[in-house]
């Protein structure tokens, strides 16, 4: 079946005729993911864990089952991100019951959290006719835009056929998503989303709204049967609980003469955002991939999943998030860049 799919896809991409509308709709979602990554290429973004469902179907063809039921609220936001898990254990996520119904589908925003580095949202989709989640369904995603109370769009995950409404003011780096619950018997789907900013530029969400424009139901290798449900589901996001002020821990270099110059190091509830420079221009990202880590006083190591790479004034500038959070309350940590050097950071 995988071979047939590859032939079908190659044929659709090479024939000099209009792509069938069903295939076009499927590719639109894929292009949205690709465009998200394209936005980041200007900063030479390197990301190893973007999991857009459409790309997963196109390029890996992972066979899943629609009986994946993990009926435990603690399974929310299970992306393997230790920083997020620590934040959730500390009660950082907020419950929400914002709900909207259209096209016989009810979508509820169940939980959300946000800081400058990461935004998380967990949705439940409930189909009035559960038969839509037949045995071939592998993933359910949504085309959506996240708009803050100031009218600016924080991020937009939509097909190329729709215009962007925002200016990428907040410089979101990537988006990951998955369906920990996909239940054909009840017609319920859980859809979790994590938005990252390697530059730590995400805003505090105040009076924000998720504008959902379409629901995409993907099936194994059968793009002609992709079902796209267009509608309107606007969901308000719970504002930050001002009764629990967000802890931010800032760090400074122990040795200002280090070969690694740290311009910013801030631990937020979900992660530590680090921006540093070295006095050299590199042809590619290899010296930084798999070579950056933090080490705490107990010898625990914290790796990054991705980073942004810029060049300025003959310097290479790196921005990345690491899963060591403000809740760790670490007074001293060491940043290691293997093959180049290391620098100790102390709390300010």
Rounded Cα–Cα distance for residues 82 and 114 (Å): 16
Contact, 123 vs 129, CB < 8 A? no
Give residue-wise pLDDT tens across range 232-248: 999 999 886 666 678 89
Q: Can you state the percent helix, strand and coil of the chain, rounding each to 5?
A: 20, 40, 40
- Name the least confident of 7-21, 49-63, 154-168, 270-284: 49-63
Rounded to the nearest integer, the mean pLDDT of the chain is 81
Rounded Cα–Cα distance for residues 21 and 24 (Å): 5
Query: Model confidence at 105, in pLDDT bands (50, 70, 90)?
Result: very high
- Name the least confident of 34-38, 186-190, 342-346: 34-38
Rounded Cα–Cα distance for residues 307 and 287 (Å): 12
- Mean of the pLDDT values across residues 145-152? 95
Query: Model confidence at 13, in pLDDT bands (50, 70, 90)?
Result: very low
Share of the chain above pLDDT 90, in %: 58
Query: Model confidence at 121, in pLDDT bands (50, 70, 90)?
Result: very high
Q: What is the pLDDT of residue 223?
A: 61
Dihedral of the alpha carbons of 331, 244, 202, 235, in degrees to the nearest 10 = 150
Give residue-wise pLDDT tens across range 129-141: 999 998 889 899 9
- Mean of the pLDDT values across residues 86-112? 93
Q: What is the pLDDT of residue 241?
A: 66
Residue 127 has pLDDT above 70, yes or no: yes
Q: Could you write out the DSSP letters of every residue in 127-192?
A: ESSGGGS-TTEEEEEEEEEEE-TTS-EEEEE--TTS---S--TT---EEEEEEEEEETTTTEEEEE
Give residue-wise pLDDT tens across range 294-343: 999 999 999 998 899 999 999 999 999 999 999 999 999 999 999 999 99
Q: What is the pLDDT of residue 80?
A: 85
Q: What is the pLDDT of residue 84?
A: 94
Q: What is the pLDDT of residue 338?
A: 94
Query: Model confidence at 224, in pLDDT bands (50, 70, 90)?
Result: low
- Name the least confident of 75-84, 103-112, 239-248: 239-248
Share of the chain above pLDDT 70, in %: 76
């Amino acid at each position: 079946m995988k071979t047939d799919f590859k032939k079908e896809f190659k044929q659709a991409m090479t024939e000099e005729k209009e792509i069938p509308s069903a295939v076009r709709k499927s590719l639109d979602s894929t292009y949205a993911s690709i465009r998200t990554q394209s936005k980041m290429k200007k900063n030479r973004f390197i990301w190893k864990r973007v999991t857009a469902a459409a790309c997963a179907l196109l390029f890996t063809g992972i066979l899943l089952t629609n009986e994946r039921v993990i009926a435990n609220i603690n399974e929310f936001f299970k992306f393997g991100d230790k920083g997020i898990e620590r934040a959730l254990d500390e009660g950082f996520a907020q419950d929400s019951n914002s709900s909207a119904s259209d096209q016989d589908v009810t979508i509820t925003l169940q939980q959300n959290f946000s800081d400058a580095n990461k935004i998380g949202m967990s949705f439940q989709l409930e189909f009035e006719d559960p038969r839509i989640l037949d045995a071939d369904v592998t993933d359910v995603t949504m085309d959506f835009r996240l708009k803050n109370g100031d009218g600016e769009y924080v991020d937009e995950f939509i097909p190329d056929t729709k215009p962007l409404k925002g200016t990428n003011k907040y410089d979101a780096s990537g988006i990951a998503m998955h369906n920990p619950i996909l239940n054909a018997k009840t017609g319920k789907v859980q859809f979790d989303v994590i938005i990252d900013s390697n530059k730590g530029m995400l805003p505090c969400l105040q009076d924000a709204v998720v504008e959902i424009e379409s629901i995409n139901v993907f099936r194994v290798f059968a793009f002609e049967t992709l079902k796209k449900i267009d509608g309107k589901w606007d969901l308000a996001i719970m504002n930050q609980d001002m009764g629990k002020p967000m802890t931010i821990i800032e760090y400074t270099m122990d040795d200002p003469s280090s070969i690694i110059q740290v311009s910013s190091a801030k631990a937020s509830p979900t992660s530590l955002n680090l921006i540093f420079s070295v006095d050299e221009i590199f042809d590619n990202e290899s010296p930084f991939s798999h070579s950056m880590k933090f080490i705490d006083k107990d010898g625990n190591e914290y790796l990054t999943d991705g980073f942004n790479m810029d060049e300025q004034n003959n310097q290479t500038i790196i921005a990345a998030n690491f899963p060591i959070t403000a809740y760790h309350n670490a007074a001293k940590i060491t940043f290691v860049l293997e093959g180049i050097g290391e620098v100790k950071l102390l709390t300010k």
